[in-house]
């Protein structure tokens, strides 16, 4: 199953995408919260939880393991739908290993730029490994190759960690991520809108409407 998440903290975008009946979850980060005009992580995350029935990710701010664990304890207590985003650093691995041992330890490992980082977060018990495709492409690297290699490694060794293609820039990225075997793709609302738009669909509807008018005399 290919899950579609929205990569935004803007409630109006999530409400609109949810109304299409295709939304499986939401990812946020501090930048997306800022763009949504809020610093109230708890209130905004819980508003998102009301709009979508799947996983909703909220990110920690701390950079040390103890701080991440403390924030995660709080974030994960908000709702059973909430996943905590922890960066793929050495401190992050330490935090993930502890958090994922909790009964409610739902971890989305974020800021992954290599299959090695993906392997380590999977070993640390993360449920999702978020590979930042667009940021690698922006730097002249092949972001999708990291998704492909991560998928292959997880399959060969049977890791129970879902590959999440993140930092998606355009609809072609979505198709490539699907073909690379991503379990989940998180995308900005603008990319989701572009996925459904086609001038051929618009032209087809216009000609059908015009011909039906003629048929009716
Ligand atoms: C993933 O969960 C991140 O929020 C996101 O995809 C970051 O992408 P960006 O490169 O557009 O900031």
Judge contact between 183 and 163, C-beta under 8 A. Answer: yes
Is the predicted pLDDT of residue 16 greater than 90, yes or no? yes
**Kind plus residue range of the DSSP H or E element containing 213:** helix 199-215
Question: Averaged over 31-58, what is the pLDDT?
Answer: 97
Look at the domain 3-215 and name its fold: TIM Barrel (3.20.20)
Q: What is the pLDDT of residue 1?
A: 82
Judge if the beta carbon of residue 167 lies within 6 A of ligand 1: yes
Give the tens place of pLDDT for each residue, 182-211. 999 999 999 999 999 999 999 999 999 999
Q: What is the pLDDT of residue 70?
A: 98
Catalytic residue among 10, 42, 50, 85: 85
Q: Note the pTM of the prediction, 2 decimals.
A: 0.96
Is the predicted pLDDT of residue 217 greater than 90, yes or no? no
Radius of gyration over every alpha carbon of the chain, rounded to an integer in angstroms:
19
The residue with tokens 């393991």 is 65
Question: Averaged over 43-70, what is the pLDDT?
Answer: 98
User: Of the candidates 132, 192, 143, which has an alpha carbon nearest to the alpha carbon of residue 166?
Assistant: 132
Give the tens place of pLDDT for each residue, 132-186. 999 999 999 999 999 999 999 999 999 999 999 999 999 999 999 999 999 999 9
What is the chain's mean pLDDT, rounded?
98
Judge if the beta carbon of residue 27 lies within 6 A of ligand 1: yes
């Amino acid at each position: 199953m290919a899950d579609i998440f929205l990569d935004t903290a803007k409630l109006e975008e999530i409400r609109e995408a949810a109304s299409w009946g295709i939304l499986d979850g939401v990812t946020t980060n501090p930048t997306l919260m800022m763009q949504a005009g809020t610093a109230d992580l708890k209130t905004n995350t819980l508003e998102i939880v009301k709009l979508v029935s799947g996983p909703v990710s909220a990110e920690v701010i701390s950079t040390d393991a103890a701080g991440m664990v403390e924030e995660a304890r709080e974030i994960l207590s908000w709702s059973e739908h909430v996943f905590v985003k922890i960066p793929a650093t050495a401190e992050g691995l330490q935090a993930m290993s502890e958090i994922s041992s909790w009964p409610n330890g739902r971890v989305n490992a974020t800021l992954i730029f290599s299959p090695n980082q993906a392997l380590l977060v999977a070993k640390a018990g993360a449920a999702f490994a978020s590979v930042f495709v667009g940021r690698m492409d922006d730097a002249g690297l092949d972001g999708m190759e990291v998704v492909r290699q991560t998928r292959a490694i997880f399959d060969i060794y049977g890791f129970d960690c879902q590959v999440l293609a993140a930092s998606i820039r355009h609809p072609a990225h979505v198709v490539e991520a699907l073909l690379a075997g991503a379990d989940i793709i998180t995308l900005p609302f603008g990319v989701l809108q572009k996925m459904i738009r086609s001038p051929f669909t618009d032209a087809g509807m216009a000609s059908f409407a015009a011909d039906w008018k003629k048929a009716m005399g």
